[in-house]
Amino acid sequence: MTSKLIHWDIYEIQTKETPIRGVMLRGRIRKLCLEKERNVLVENTHDKEKSVRFAIPSKEDSSLIVEYLHSILPDATIKRVEEHIPNPILSKLKVNITERYTL
């Protein structure tokens, strides 16, 4: 059985001073979304220092996560960096450029 691919919008979290790695941020975002029954992917970045990325299905409202992040990370900036990406890799955005690869 096959199903349609889920397309995701990818968001990047950065802070000016507040640490976002080593503070269980990914797990906290995941738990929030589990409790609210929302789909989410969360990864640390490998192509950018001091950043975390999360993805939600395209066209879904990100305000639940954004508001939560601002409540625990007052100096956070959250911006959408990619839209409508199937099967995304969050740690390195360039991996999502399918033209780079052959089968």
Q: Is 66 helix (H, G, I), strand (E, B) or coil?
A: helix
Token pair 């609210």 in the structure block, residue: 36
For 60-88, write each residue's pLDDT tens digit.
999 999 999 999 999 999 999 999 999 99
In angstroms, the CA 82 to CA 70 distance is: 21
Provide the CATH topology of domain 7-100.
Alpha-Beta Plaits (3.30.70)
Supply the pLDDT for residue 3. 87
What would the mean pLDDT of 89-97 be, rounded to a whole number? 95
Mean pLDDT on 6-19? 97
